[in-house]
């Protein structure tokens, strides 16, 4: 899910100055290495997490910890790795657990409780227990390559129902819900909207020619005609913020949008929980929060930072997203995934 769009303007780069950042947690004597540089803190992330070299240096200077990140793949891989490593964790903290996996992670007791002193009041709406700290939020939506539809004289779809029509199904690329966070969000939205008929809906998509990509990066950058890959599919499962990166040449199918929230946490039995806490505090700092739109194309949880101008023009979230119950996702997720796998065989 490499949501990072690969061109960042010079103005955005200048905005990465972090001189005003404050960190609430400092390493204690036990956590500090004998070489005087501080101990290592290892953070598990999905592969679209972005932090600049300047930000890493700033974090390390302010905390004394050396930061190491590991990214096995999409958010689905992050969740699986957390669960598989529960009894012998190899990381100290995690970023990239979404709201559809939050209940599963909370119930598995793989994270330790932590409530940052710097958690903004605006994050309260996204809270899940005491171990999952909200960092950013956004919406998963079908993106439309407006130029393609104009050039081919085809009307843009305006509803989810239309996507199963043969005219549109063959134009769509979605992502595998078992390994892709957007894929799971889309599947949860389809189940919510169509109830017992969701399998028929997915079958109609697949039989009509809809492609299922392994992850967001492949779908957006290789298969989608509206991005740099100039692929063969003018409809792609992506994010409400993606049109801002394409300067308005793409748009969202608002009827398809589903809210998504990303959380961070301290891994239970971590070797360096203080370092993980310091890293979470850093992600919540105004300076890092201000870079989330340009770096990860999500909305910051802090309402104290300004959004880029392009977002006001092209990245407005849907005011009527499909309202998915995360508890239902946790309870029925495995059944949905198994059924989806059978349908896509």
CB 266 within 8 A of CB 326: no
**Angle in degrees, CA 96, 301, 73, rounded to 5:** 15
Residue 16 has pLDDT above 90, yes or no: no
Fold equal for 10-138+260-311 and 139-258+318-343: yes
What residue spans define the domains of the chain?
Answer: 10-138+260-311, 139-258+318-343
Torsion sign, CA atoms 262, 265, 268, 272 = positive
CA 70 to CA 85: how far, in whole Å?
A: 14
CB 139 within 8 A of CB 174: no
CATH of domain 139-258+318-343: 3.40.190.10
Which residue matches tokens 């070797």?
271
Torsion sign, CA atoms 26, 90, 74, 83 = negative
CA 71 to CA 273: how far, in whole Å?
A: 19
* Average pLDDT, rounded, for the chain: 87
Q: How much is the pLDDT for 4?
A: 38
Query: Right CATH number for 10-138+260-311 from 3.40.190.10, 1.10.150.120, 2.40.50.100, 1.20.1250.40?
Result: 3.40.190.10
Residue 222 corresponds to which tokens in the numbers above?
Answer: 């290789």
Per-residue DSSP letter, 222: I
Tell me the pLDDT band of 330, cut-offs 50, 70 and 90. confident
CB count in 10 Å sphere of residue 302: 21
Lowest mean pLDDT among 2-6, 12-16, 147-151, 325-329: 12-16
Per DSSP (E only), the strands in 187-293 are 211-213, 235-239, 250-267
Tell me the pLDDT band of 317, cut-offs 50, 70 and 90. confident
The structure's pTM equals 0.77
Tell me the pLDDT band of 213, cut-offs 50, 70 and 90. very high
Q: How much is the pLDDT for 228?
A: 86
Give the DSSP letter string of 1-47: -----S---HHHHHTT--TT---S----TTTS-TTSS--EEEEEE-T
Residue-wise pLDDT tens digits, 331-343: 999 999 999 999 9
Longest dimension (CA), the chain: 68
Q: How much is the pLDDT for 38?
A: 62
15 or 188: which carries more pLDDT confidence?
188
CB 262 within 8 A of CB 134: yes
Helices 198-207 & 181-194 angle (0-180, nearest 10): 120
Beta bridge partners of 134: 263
CB count in 10 Å sphere of residue 153: 6
């Amino acid at each position: 899910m490499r949501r990072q769009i690969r061109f960042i303007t010079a103005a955005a780069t200048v905005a990465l100055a972090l001189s005003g950042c404050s960190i609430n947690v400092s390493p204690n004597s036990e956590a500090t290495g004998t070489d005087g540089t501080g101990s290592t803190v290892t953070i598990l992330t999905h592969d679209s997490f972005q932090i600049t070299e300047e930000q890493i240096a700033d974090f390390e200077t302010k905390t004394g910890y050396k930061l190491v990140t590991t990214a096995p793949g999409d958010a689905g891989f992050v969740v699986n790795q957390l669960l598989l490593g529960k009894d012998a964790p190899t990381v100290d903290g995690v970023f990239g657990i979404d709201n559809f996996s939050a209940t599963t992670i909370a119930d598995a007791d793989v994270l330790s409780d932590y409530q940052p002193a710097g958690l903004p009041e605006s994050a309260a709406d996204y809270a899940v227990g005491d171990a999952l700290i909200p960092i950013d939020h956004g919406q998963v939506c079908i993106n439309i390559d407006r130029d393609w539809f104009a050039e081919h004289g085809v009307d843009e779809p305006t509803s989810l129902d239309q996507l199963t029509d043969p005219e549109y199904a063959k134009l769509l690329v979605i992502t595998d819900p078992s390994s892709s966070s957007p894929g799971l969000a889309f599947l949860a939205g389809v189940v919510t909207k169509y109830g017992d008929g969701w399998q028929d809906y997915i079958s109609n998509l697949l039989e009509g020619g809809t492609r299922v990509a392994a992850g967001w990066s492949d779908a957006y950058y290789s298969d989608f005609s509206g991005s740099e890959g100039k692929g063969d599919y003018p409809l792609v499962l992506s994010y409400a913020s993606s049109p801002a990166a394409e300067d308005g040449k793409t748009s969202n199918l608002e009827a398809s949008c589903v809210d998504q929230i990303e959380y961070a946490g301290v891994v239970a039995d971590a070797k360096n929980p203080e370092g993980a806490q310091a890293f979470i505090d850093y992600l919540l700092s105004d300076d890092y929060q201000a870079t989330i739109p340009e770096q990860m194309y999500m909305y910051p949880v802090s309402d104290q930072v300004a959004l880029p101008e392009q977002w006001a023009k092209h990245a407005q979230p849907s005011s009527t997203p499909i309202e998915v119950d995360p508890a239902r996702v946790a309870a029925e997720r495995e059944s949905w995934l198994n059924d989806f796998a059978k349908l896509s065989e």
